[in-house]
Amino acid sequence: MAGVKAVFAMNPEVMPFVFGESEIERLRELVDVDPQRLLTWVEDREPVLEGLADVELVISGWGVPFLGAKQLEQLPALRAVVHWGGGVGFLDHSARERGIAVSSARVANGIPVAEFTIAMITLAAKDAFWVSRQYCREQREVYREAELPHTGLYGTTVGLVGASTIGMMVIEQLAARDVEVLVYDPYLGEAAAARLGVELVSDLEDLARRSTVLSLHAPVTPQTEGMISRKVLAALPDRATLVNTARGILVDQDALVEELAANRIRAILDVTEPEVLPEGHPLYTLPNVFLTPHLAGSTGVELRRLGHAALAEIERFIAGVPFAHPFPVP
């Protein structure tokens, strides 16, 4: 067994989906870790850190408890955190001052979100969800050329809000399709946009006005909450589709419901505010909404990708090599 002492910090129910038997075996070759001891988040309860003063590595994921300054004081030997989740908001800023290296699997977790987004953009352009409902309701032949003259992805204008990790993946995949891509992101410069082959748009309402499909990929910050405002939604063309695989709080949801109830636009929503919506909420039953329960991120067999990403980073840590996917502590 390797000499570096490590501890797991995650939801025990999720752990077997991320680390199977072969991954656990490899981990135990790399580090001294007890798979039976997990630090996990429990409401109003601090993690029990007794006996972990010599831990050098925390292997964390969904369900990790908050590791504040007090907790880090109890982990004086800690040198690294390998997180198979996305953000590292569970880690106190003092980790940076302590020189603790942090890795995140946000790139690995972004892959299925980008795949899901591309699928939704394609199906939105084909009117697939809405035509399917019509077909099942009317039970007759649908005369595609006569009844669906504006459907299809070819030549469609796709607007992206945010050139984040996932946004960049979506841009890369759209590059292989015959579409016009517009991007709103205050941190993306003209030169970078040109290299990506996209048009940078500086005004959200203008972006919405020009988009057949508007897809959201911005992070949640005080500046982005509610950024898809009533005015932005009103600027969308008739029959346009809003795709949200980011966070529900980015959208003025009341205004969205009003636009949808007027049957002017459509929405494909993998996220809402809150999650889960209260029983009876209109988004459950509006006919021009395709609603999924935060399905875009890693699920099922995709969770094993996160485990493999974490294993690769742990191997780098043991070898004394910098992380491939470092994450700055806030």
Cβ-Cβ contacts under 8 Å for 112 (sequence gap 6 or more): 296, 297, 298, 299, 302
137-161 burial code (b ≥16 CB/10 A, e <16): eeeeeeeeeeeeeebebeebbbbbb
- Is 247 among the residues known to form the active site? yes
How many other β-carbons are positioned within 10 Å of the β-carbon of residue 248?
20
- Is 302 among the residues known to form the active site? no
Give residue 305's Cα distance to chain centre: 15
Measured distance CA(62)–CA(196) in Å, rounded: 33
| Per annotation, catalytic residue among 96, 98, 294, 304 | 294
- Do 181 and 211 meet the contact criterion of CB atoms below 8 Å apart? no
| Per annotation, catalytic residue among 247, 266, 316, 325 | 247
Q: Look at residue 90 and give its three-state secondary structure.
A: coil
Helix axes 165-174, 106-125, angle to 10 degrees: 50
Can you read off the two tokens belonging to residue 134? 């019509």
Give residue 112's Cα distance to chain centre: 9
- Is 294 among the residues known to form the active site? yes
Partners of 102 in the β-ladder: 81
List, by residue number, the catalytic residues: 247, 275, 294
